[in-house]
């Protein structure tokens, strides 16, 4: 009988730990907006002249490094969005949104930044990626809480 009691106790302890970890895996809104900004910079760079695109991509790389360093300092770790589990559909949606935008900007838009459709596309990428980042966090936290990770 004690082994059954030990198993229940261990399961309760695991559920408590998962709950604490899920609470810790919370990011402020600016962090989700930063994800949107990074993807917008990458997507937008394909519609710019090569020299400017390289500068924009360099800025995106520097911002990515800054975010990773901030996460490690603030939370003690960096959690990549590419996690196994139920977050896969969110990552798929982010990839589909951004890849579609890259193809659209690259093949269907002329005149890059002077075309209003370019800026509308960038706004969609920014808002879409930011909102999907928030959705990712919710799915990830639920996954942790339920022991799916």
pLDDT tens by residue, 12-46:
666 666 566 656 677 889 999 999 999 999 999 99
The pLDDT value recorded for residue 149 is 62
Beta carbons within 10 angstroms of residue 129's beta carbon? 25
| Per-residue pLDDT at 91 | 94
Element (H, E) at 133: helix 116-145
**Under 8 Å between Cβ of 46 and 102:** yes
Q: Length of the chain in residues, anyone?
A: 149
* Phi, psi of 34, deg, nearest 5: -65, -40
Which phi and psi (to 5°) does residue 78 adopt?
A: -115, 125
Q: Which pLDDT tens digit goes with each residue over 91-113?
A: 999 999 999 999 999 988 777 77
Domain count, the chain: 1
pLDDT digit string (tens) for 125-143? Answer: 999 999 999 999 999 888 8
Whole-angstrom Cα Rg for the chain = 20
For residue 19, the enclosing domain spans 2-145
């Amino acid at each position: 009988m004690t082994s059954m009691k030990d198993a229940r106790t261990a399961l309760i302890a695991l559920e408590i730990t998962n709950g604490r970890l899920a609470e810790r895996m919370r990011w402020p809104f600016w962090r989700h907006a930063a994800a949107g900004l990074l993807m917008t910079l990458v997507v937008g760079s394909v519609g710019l002249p090569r020299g400017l695109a390289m500068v924009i991509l360099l800025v995106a790389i520097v911002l990515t490094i800054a975010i990773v360093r901030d996460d490690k300092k603030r939370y003690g770790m960096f959690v990549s969005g590419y996690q196994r589990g139920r977050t896969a559909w969110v990552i798929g949606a982010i990839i589909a949104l951004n890849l579609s935008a890259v193809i659209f900007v690259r093949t269907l838009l002329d005149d890059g930044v002077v075309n209003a459709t370019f800026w509308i596309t960038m706004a969609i990428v920014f808002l879409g990626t930011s909102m999907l980042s928030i959705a990712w966090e919710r799915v990830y936290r639920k996954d942790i809480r339920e022991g799916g990770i």
